[in-house]
Amino acid sequence: MTERLVCNVYVHFERERERESVCLCVGVRVMKQEAKDMNDDFRAMLNGDSGQVSSSRISSLLASKDRDYLLSSNGAQVNVSDLESKVIGLYFSANWYPPCWNFTKVLVGIYEQLKTSGSNFEIVYISSDEDLDAFNNYHACMPWLAIPFSDLETKKALNRKFDVEGIPCLVILQPNDNKDDATLHDGVELIYRYGIEAFPFTKERLETLYQEEREKHENQTLTNLLTNHDRDYLLGHPSPKQVPVASLIGKTIGLYFSAQWCLPCVKFAPKLISIYQKIKQMLGEKGDDEDFDVVLISNDRDQESFDSYFETMPWLALPFGDPAGKDLAKHFDVRGIPCLVILGPDGKTVTKHGRNLINLYQENAYPFTEAKVELLEKQMNEEAERLPRSVFHSGHRHELTLVSEGNGGGPFICCGCDEQGSGWAYQCLECGYEVHPKCVSAAAADRDSSDNS
């Protein structure tokens, strides 16, 4: 395994282990594409395979010449024919991959709700486990059916047929009487995005959900995001000081989804505090009415953890356990923490990638608008022209080459600071190790300071 893979996989797995039920989302999207991405993502969900899966084809997909059954989690055999006329989810997963465990917990809850309501839905687990014991232990946590672990040919054939490139993956098959509905490959996305409301995963249902989602975003205000019938305030300092949500109207607001138990959150929080204070100071020196604030949306496990974590922060917070927290996470499709969603003075979403902009541009990212980001990108490109084409970095034994997103680079996890990066990077062409240019510069400055002392 290359050094870059070691670095990125280590960071990824450590974060997954620390966050447990929260999926890491390390992909970096260009901010000005966010609205377009929402439309493109939806179109991609609907544009699956054109054909439906008939009852006879269900048997050809899930059975073999030696087997006409599937296994329940208690080991009982269930005829494949029992799945005829049902909406079927083919669940490609494995016990050894933390994101699969995280999604399985979510999917179990959805499945049990659908079964309780009598919905015509079934899931079939297609395993990528290492051995039979791992398969049995993982399947025991699932209330649905599975292809037997020993049937490698059927599992391989299903992976090939549905072009499964990563796990977890949930492929939705419609019964053959639903002529207008394609096979969907984005079941994981749909479950995370819409939950039980996505069922029965038909084109008509998804179009309705998308339209509702679009209208919510178009009509969102700070008040309808952060208040409810019983509460029109946030917590301030000294806690439990109550700060009216109305006092934030007209400000640029960062919604900070975080938790004390999350290692990446603990590492990012001091940086955000520093940037927050610099932005406040900068705006104070300008002397106009422009202002910035942050609101903690906690995912802590108990009141005590929330209190101790919030005490370290200079900004506001949604009360612990407030149902608005889950609503906000769903509204902004928050898959992983830490996450910083930026709202403009009008209460509309500016970007969901405030964390990445902070990492790239520090306080200069404010006010996080498309115009400001374009200006910063231009400045970064100009500065990159003055950087050395190659360097040696204390954290790596090989020479590093300067690359850009359009020239061998792309979104990455910096092996120097473990934070997201995009645009320019120093990359080892031999093994893929990547660091921010600023991390190379900081390391060089520290080395020079040490040499002079």
The CA distance from 185 to 47, in Å, is 9
In contact, 243 and 234? CB cutoff 8 Å: yes
> Packing angle between helix 187-194 and helix 98-116, nearest 10 degrees?
70
| Mean pLDDT of each 10-residue bin along the chain, 453 residues long | 34 37 32 48 52 60 91 93 91 94 94 94 95 95 96 94 93 73 85 91 91 88 92 90 96 97 93 96 87 96 95 96 92 91 96 91 93 88 82 83 75 77 80 82 54 53
CB atoms within 10 A of CB 86: 18
Non-local CB neighbours of 334 within 8 Å, separated by 6+ positions: 257, 328, 341, 352
Q: Which two tokens stand for residue 1?
A: 């395994």
Q: Which of 342, 357, 367, 370 is nearest to 422 (CA)?
A: 357
In contact, 114 and 186? CB cutoff 8 Å: no
CB atoms within 10 A of CB 288: 7
The CA distance from 253 to 236, in Å, is 15
Q: Which of 446, 412, 447, 445 is nearest to 428 (CA)?
A: 412
CB atoms within 10 A of CB 21: 11
Options 3.40.30.10, 3.30.565.10, 3.40.50.20, 2.40.50.140; CATH for 48-216 is 3.40.30.10
Query: pLDDT for 385-396, tens place per residue?
Result: 888 888 887 778
In contact, 147 and 126? CB cutoff 8 Å: yes
pLDDT score at 330: 87
Query: Which whole-number Å values give the CA distances from 387 to 7, 373, 403, 404, in the listed order?
Result: 24, 21, 11, 12
Q: Which of 356, 398, 385 is nearest to 373 (CA)?
A: 356
Cα torsion angle, 42, 48, 50, 54, sign: negative
Cα torsion angle, 157, 158, 164, 166, sign: negative
Q: Which of 50, 35, 23 is nearest to 192 (CA)?
A: 23
* CATH architecture for residues 221-376: 3-Layer(aba) Sandwich (3.40)
Query: pLDDT for 46-96, tens place per residue?
Result: 555 544 444 457 888 899 888 999 999 998 999 999 998 899 999 999 999
Q: Tell me if domain 48-216 and domain 221-376 are identical in fold.
A: yes
Q: Which two tokens stand for residue 7?
A: 């670095």
In contact, 329 and 340? CB cutoff 8 Å: no
DSSP code string of 233-268: EEEETTTTEEEEGGGGTTSEEEEEEE-TT-HHHHHH
Interstrand relation of 241-244 and 316-317 (parallel, antiparallel or unpaired): unpaired
Residue holding tokens 């975080």? 258
Residue holding tokens 């309705």? 208
Q: Using CB atoms within 10 Å of the CB of residue 279, give its burial: 0 to 12 exposed, 13 to 18 middle, 19+ buried.
A: buried
- Contacts for 66-71: CB closer than 8 Å, 24+ residues apart: 67/148, 67/151, 70/124, 70/145, 70/146, 70/147, 70/148, 71/139, 71/145, 71/146, 71/147, 71/148
Q: What are phi and psi of 296, to 5 degrees?
A: -75, 125
Q: What is the largest CA-CA distance in the chain?
A: 78
Domain ranges of the chain: 1-27+387-453, 48-216, 221-376
